[in-house]
Amino acid sequence: MLPPDRKPMRMFYDLARRRWRRLRARTVQTVPIFHIGRCGSTVLNKMLQKHPRIRADSEVYQVIYPKLRNKRPDLDPITFTRERIGQGARFAPFRGRYIFEMKFFSGLDLKLFPTGLAGYIDLMSDLGIGKAIVLRRRNLLRRVVSTQIAVKRGAFQRRSYDAAPVLPQITLELDRLWLGDAHDIVTLFDRIGDEYDQLFGWLDKRGIACTEIVYEDHIEQDPQVGYGRICAFMGLRPGRPEVPLARINTASLRDVLLNFDAVHERLAPTRHAWMLEDGAALPQHAPQRWIS
C-alpha cells in the first residue's frame, strides 16, 4: 500500500495515462481485414505484427464464440466490436495503425450480426473507419482442398524452416462442403463470389477505400508482395520482416483428391471449371474482380 502522501501522485499518473491513451486512440487509423480464411491471412498478420507502427489483431470474433456457446444473455457483438476496436487503438503506436481480421462470409463471423453485411459496414463507417483490406483466394477449389488437408493433418500452418509434409489424400463431399453451413460445391463457390461482390459494393457505397490482396498474385509465391501492398495502402514505409510460414499444399489436385474425377464432372459444365487445372489461367470471360 502506498503512503498517504504518495496516493495523490499515483492518481495523477493514472489519470495522465488514461488521457494519453485516449489521445493516442484518436490519432490511430483502424483498418479491418475482411476474408474467409485459408487465403494467407495468418502469414500476413505475423509479418504486420513486426512493423513498429502497426498493432495487428487476428480474428477478434473468435473471442466471443465461447460466450455464445454458453448462451450469455448479455452478449452484444456490436458493443464488443466498439470496445475491442477502442482498446486496440488505445494500445497501438502513436499515429500508427490498428488492424483486425473479420471473416465476413454470412456463415462465419457475420452470422453474429442480424443486420448482415450492410449493417456491419454501416457500423464500420459509424466508427470512423475509412480504409479496409480485402483478402481473397481466386482458386476456391484449392482453398477447400487446403482446408480439408489441414483438418486431416491437424495443423493449419507450417513454419518456414519445417520440412515439407507428406500430404494426406482426401475425398471431398461434393454436396456437403462446410463454410459455416453446408453447401454443394457449385453453390458454395457461387455464394462466395456473390458475397465478395456485395462486400466491395457496400464498402464503395459507404466511402470506405479498400485494397484487394489476391493470394495467387500477392502471397503464394512471395508474401512480401502482399505485405508491401498493405503497408503502401496505409501510408507506411514497409520493413523487410522474415516470412515465418510456408505453404502446406503444393501438390497437384490430382495427387491429393481421391475423387478428382467426380469433382471434375461436377465443375466442368460451370464457370469454375478452370480451377481444376493446376496453374491454369483465368478464362477471358471471368469477372473483373477475379482478375484484380
Here the CATH number for the domain that contains residue 195 is 3.40.50.300
Q: Percent of the chain at pLDDT above 90?
A: 69
Question: Does residue 210 belong to any structural domain of this protein?
Answer: yes
Question: Does residue 291 belong to any structural domain of this protein?
Answer: no
Question: Does residue 132 belong to any structural domain of this protein?
Answer: yes
Residue 18 predicted with pLDDT over 50: yes
Q: What is the DSSP string of 196-237?
A: HHHHHHHHHHTT-EEEEEEHHHHTSS-HHHHHHHHHHHTT--
Predicted pLDDT at 13: 57
Question: Does residue 8 belong to any structural domain of this protein?
Answer: no
Question: Does residue 14 belong to any structural domain of this protein?
Answer: no
Question: Does residue 256 belong to any structural domain of this protein?
Answer: yes
Q: Pairing relation of β-strands 182-183 and 177-178?
A: antiparallel
Predicted pLDDT at 285: 43
Amino acid letter, residue 108: L
Cα–Cα distance for residue pair 104/125, rounded to 1 Å: 16
Residue 10's pLDDT band, with cuts at 50, 70 and 90, is: low
- Give the chain's radius of gyration (CA, Å): 22
Torsion of CA 216, 218, 222, 224, to 10 degrees: -160
CA angle 123-128-129, nearest 5°? 80
Cα–Cα distance for residue pair 194/186, rounded to 1 Å: 12
Residue 171 predicted with pLDDT over 60: yes
Residue 133 φ/ψ, nearest 5 degrees: -115, 135
Looking at the structure of the chain, the number of domains it has is: 1
Question: Quick check: 23 and 95 in contact, CB under 8 A?
Answer: no
Predicted pLDDT at 289: 42
Predicted pLDDT at 286: 44
pTM of the model: 0.86
Question: Does residue 3 belong to any structural domain of this protein?
Answer: no
Cα–Cα distance for residue pair 151/37, rounded to 1 Å: 13
Q: Measuring CA to CA, how many Å separate 91 from each of 60, 64, 121, 178?
A: 15, 21, 24, 36
User: What's the length of the chain?
Assistant: 292
Question: Does residue 1 belong to any structural domain of this protein?
Answer: no
Looking at per-residue pLDDT, the higher value among 57 and 247 belongs to: 57
Question: Quick check: 139 and 132 in contact, CB under 8 A?
Answer: no
Over residues 207-216, mean pLDDT: 97
Range of the domain at 222: 22-286
Residue 287 predicted with pLDDT over 60: no
Over residues 268-291, mean pLDDT: 69
Secondary structure class of 136 (helix, strand, coil): strand
**Of 254, 245, 231, 66, whose CA–CA distance to 142 is shortest?**
254
